[in-house]
Structures are given as structure tokens and as C-alpha cells.
Amino acid sequence: MDISPGIRTELYPQLEPYSSGMLALDRTHTMYWEESGNPRGVPVVFLHGGPGAGSAPNQRRFFDPAHYRIVIFDQRGAGRSTPLGELRDNTTPHLIDDIERLRKHLGIARWIVFGGSWGSTLALAYGAAHPARCAGFVLRGVFLCRQSEIDWFLYGLKHIFPEAWRAFADVIPASERRDLLTAYYQRLTDPDPAVHMPAARAWGRYEGSCSTLRPSPDTVAYFASDVVALGLARMEAHYFTHGIFLPGNSLLDNVGKLRNIPAVIVQGRYDAVCPIVSADDLHRAWPEADYIVVPDAGHSAWETGICAELVKATETFKIRRLNCDL
């Protein structure tokens, strides 16, 4: 990518939504959504991580509010969507349909799809289902949800973060630790808060502890906070238990549908949560995408180098003047 040396890399100032609402999805689920920036700008939809992490106000700041119509929403069971942590009718195909429902509700023809971690997973799945609705992609911390990646999260991280992994595993009795996912899923789906909340906080603390190259107590505290932890832990365990409700390797298998769409992949070299091998595999399957490896970063979007490259990507799409009209 040929980028002017003067292109912006700093986050934009805080801004408030100009519109928001609750969209009924079915008899159980209602989606929180919001729009900020320029109502007549280029539409971009932000897909949060997890699954189940929910959105946050700072995520609006990756985008120039004078140029972009910024759409952010909380996926089923996450954040301000209701009910929090609800697993019924909560699968990847449901989430793909929800994105389409929101696009139609807002009267948007095409949009840029921006997602990190699980957000990159969902972006790829949505793009494969609806490529004509995608004007571009910004993907960060790529997670292809293969069994090897799930096993790495549950067991492999102990080789890099042994203290965090030990605290995560110690919540489970020694007799059950050979299958941490099942043990956690049983506790996270228990209706008693005295059972599911300690498990949720431990899961969130573990993921937050492993998400940054440099220790970040604020990141750990955020992931371990009750609303984030419950949505994140319960939803991740649910999706991991069911193989993310998609055929194995389907994300890579369907990349061919996206190869004519502009894309930027941003990956931290030392991402422990979603190791770089997945981003590398994606780029080899999608060589037309711009691939940026940040040499001194882990997984979090808020690490300095990753944050700068994400803003740079949205600024570059401004230069490209992507057509979001049909």
C-alpha cells in the first residue's frame, strides 16, 4: 500500500452517537445499535470481539467522524443487547442475519466491515454470506476459530502466561482440568450467579491478562468486570463448544468470495491470544489484502502500534474513496 507519510494515525476525539435504538431480532433477543459521525458519510460497521465482549465508546474513535457514518452494535447476548448472556438462538448464522437486519433497518446499501479478534471471524463469515454488501474490510488479530486455535487458548497459553493460566485452571477441580472447556461451560451456564459469576470473572481475567504485550491492569480489570466477563465467558464457551456453528475451516474455504474486495489485515507479531499463524494463513489465501504486522504488539486493539495501524487503515480507505452505493 502506498500511503502518504502524513496520513493520520492518532485516534479521533471522543464523540457521542447522534442516533441509537433497540432492534427486536426475535421473541427473545433485542439488539442495541448506535450511529455516530456523519449521517451522510461512508458507512462502516464495527464488529466487536468475544464473542460476547460488547462494544465500547472508544471504538468510535478509529474513524474520522466527518467522513464516516459509524455503526456500532452489541451482538446477541452481549453488552447492552438483551438478555445479557442469553444462549438460546445464539449462533454464528444468527449473528450474520442480525448484521443484515441492521443494515436494512438503517437503509445502508454497502458498508466497510471492521472487526478484530472474534470480530474478524464474524466479518469473514458475514462477508462470505453477503459479499455484495461489503465495500471493504479492516481485520485485526485474526481468529479463524479452528480447533487448534481454541485448544491454544485453553491450554497453549500456559507456555507464555503460566501464572495467568494457572489462575484460570485453578478455578476448576483437578479431576476436571483435562477438559477445561466442558468444566467451564457447565459452570457458566449454571443459573446460580454464585456459580457462574466466579467462573466468568476468572475467564475474563485470564483473557485480559494475555491480551497485551506489556502488562495492562486496566485491560485485565475491564475483561473481569461483571457485564463484560459474563457476556464474554459464557458466549465464548458456548461458541467454542459448538465449533462456532460453522463447518470446519469454512472461513478460509470461502475467502475466494472476498478477494476482489479491498482489505487490510493488521496483526501483532506477539499476539498470544490469536497467534500470527492465523493471520498468515489468511493472507496466503487472500494475497490481494494489505497485510501489516506490528512488530512490538500483542492482541489488543489499544496497543500503540496496532491502534495506529487501524486508524491508518480507515484513513487509507478515505483516500481510496470506496463506493458504498449500489
Determine phi and psi for 325, rounding to 5 degrees. Answer: -105, 150
**75 touches 81 (CB < 8 A):** yes
112 sits in which H/E element = strand 111-116
Res. 3 pLDDT band, cuts 50 70 90: very low
Rounded average pLDDT over 133-143: 97
pLDDT of 322: 62
pLDDT of 319 reads: 84
Delimit the domains of the chain by residue range.
Answer: 19-145+247-320, 147-244
The active-site residue out of 74, 271, 283, 300 is: 271
Name the residue with higher pLDDT: 97 or 5: 97
Band the pLDDT of 326: cuts 50, 70, 90.
very low
Percent of the chain past pLDDT 70, that is, above it, reads 97
Residue pLDDT, tens place only, 124-137: 999 999 999 999 99
The answer on pLDDT for 4 being more than 80 is: no
Q: How confident is the model at residue 99 (pLDDT cuts 50, 70, 90)?
A: very high
Residue of 29, 196, 238, 299 with catalytic role = 299
Is 67 labeled as catalytic in the residue annotation? no
Task: Please give the pLDDT value at position 70.
Answer: 98
- Mean pLDDT (whole number) for 234-249: 94
Residue 2, pLDDT score: 42
The band of 157, judged by pLDDT with boundaries at 50, 70 and 90, is very high
Is residue 1 very low, low, confident or very high in pLDDT (cuts 50, 70, 90)? very low
**Containing H/E element for 136?**
strand 134-140
Marked catalytic residue, from 55, 117, 120, 216: 117
148 vs 150: CA distance, rounded Å:
6
Question: What percent of the chain stands above pLDDT 90?
Answer: 94
**52 C-beta neighbours (distance < 10 Å), count:** 31
Flag whether pLDDT at 10 surpasses 50.
yes
Query: Does position 213 have pLDDT exceeding 80, yes or no?
Result: yes
Confidence of residue 320 (pLDDT cuts 50, 70, 90): confident
Give the Cα-Cα-Cα angle 204, 209, 215 (nearest 5 degrees). 145
Parallel/antiparallel/unpaired status of strands 30-37 and 68-73: antiparallel
Segment among 12-21, 244-253, 285-294 with least mean pLDDT: 244-253
Round the average pLDDT of the chain to a whole number and report it: 95
- Is 299 one of the catalytic residues? yes
Mean pLDDT, range 267-273, rounded to an integer: 97
pLDDT of residue 110: 97
Choose between 319 and 203: higher pLDDT: 203
Question: How would you list the strands of the sheet with 68-73, edge to edge?
Answer: 19-24, 30-37, 68-73, 42-47, 111-116, 134-140, 263-268, 290-294
If one counts every other C-beta atom within 10 angstroms of the C-beta of residue 39, the result is 9
Asked if residue 219 has pLDDT above 60, the reply is yes
pTM over 0.85: yes
For the segment 268-282, the average pLDDT, to the nearest whole number, is 98
How does residue 325 score in pLDDT terms, banded at 50, 70 and 90?
low
Name the packing angle between helices 180-188 and 226-241 (round to 10°): 130
Homologous superfamily assigned to 19-145+247-320 = Alpha/Beta hydrolase fold, catalytic domain (3.40.50.1820)
Does the annotation mark 242 as catalytic?
A: no
Residue 291 has pLDDT above 90, yes or no: yes
The pLDDT value given to residue 323 = 60
